[in-house]
Amino acid sequence: MESAASRLETVRSNIARACKPARRSPGDVTLIAVSKTHGAEAIRPLIDAGQRVFGENRVQEAQAKWPALREAHPDIALHLIGQLQSNKAEEAVALFDCIHGLDRPSLLTALARAMDKAGRLVPCFVQVNIGDEPQKGGCPIAGLPDFLAQVRATPIPLAGLMCIPPADTEAAPFFQFLAKLAADNGLSGGVAGLSMGMSGDYETAVMLGATHVRVGTALFGERGAAQG
């Protein structure tokens, strides 16, 4: 089996290669290693290989795994990439350094309150329901300008926009659309980020302007069939 270090090297060099035609610098792309469902024994080799940014999609799972792993490496940054329930806002604010799933006013209120209480501001990406899928999280496209105005009225640092394109279709048009929405809403030109791209399409995402790619399978291998 390929080692974690060599998979990491492969992903990093793919990112660097995708940066070239777009005249971007690899340093402007943050690789988030999505470690959901994987235990400490799978994560440690990546930490040893130098990876410092990780993503989890469940608050409870992250609470169980990360405090111990972080003790030895306080420079690790943890991103919450999944849907967040408002009643978990305080726990999320305590544990994570960035939250990618801000998508509705009730969660905005809960996060603003939790950050105020904790005295800690955690940057948030606004997730956009880019494919207009009824079952999926994310702010509706039509409601984005209003919701961004609501976010900007709070002290929460706006990190940019995030999306998960519809499964089984080409992702590129959705990545382009997210970049356009960012530009249309005053979130471009290095002012803010674009969190887009997963194992199957992170190179495309980088070519189209992603500042954060969320890569799990290409780094850790397949997750168990029953897991998220």
Span near ligand PLP by CB under 6 A; candidates 111-119, 131-139, 175-183, 196-204: 196-204
Give the C-alpha separation, 45 to 40, whole Å. Answer: 9
Please tell me whether residue 210 binds ligand PLP under the rule CB under 6 A: no
In the bound state with ligand PLP, the residue whose beta carbon lies nearer, of 130 and 198, is 198
Contacts with ligand PLP, 20-39, as mask; x by CB under 6 A? --------------x-x---
Q: Which of 154, 199 has the CB closer to ligand PLP?
A: 199
**b/e map of 18-53 (b: 16 or more CB within 10 Å)?**
bbeeeebeeeebbbbbbbbbbeeeebeebbebebeb
H helices within 80-171, ranges in order?
89-95, 105-118, 144-152
Residue span 88-127 as binding mask against ligand PLP, x where in contact by CB under 6 A, dash where not: ----------------------------------------
Instruction: Decide whether 97 or 116 has the Cβ nearer to ligand PLP.
Output: 97
159 sits in which H/E element: strand 158-163
Q: Between vectors from CA 217 to CA 81 and to CA 14, what angle results, nearest 5°?
A: 95
Count the alpha carbons within 13 Å of 182 in the hemisphere toward its beta carbon: 29
> Which residues 66-85 are close enough to bind ligand PLP by CB under 6 A?
81-82
Give the interface with ligand PLP as residue ranges (CB under 6 A): 34, 36, 57, 81-82, 164, 198-200, 214-218
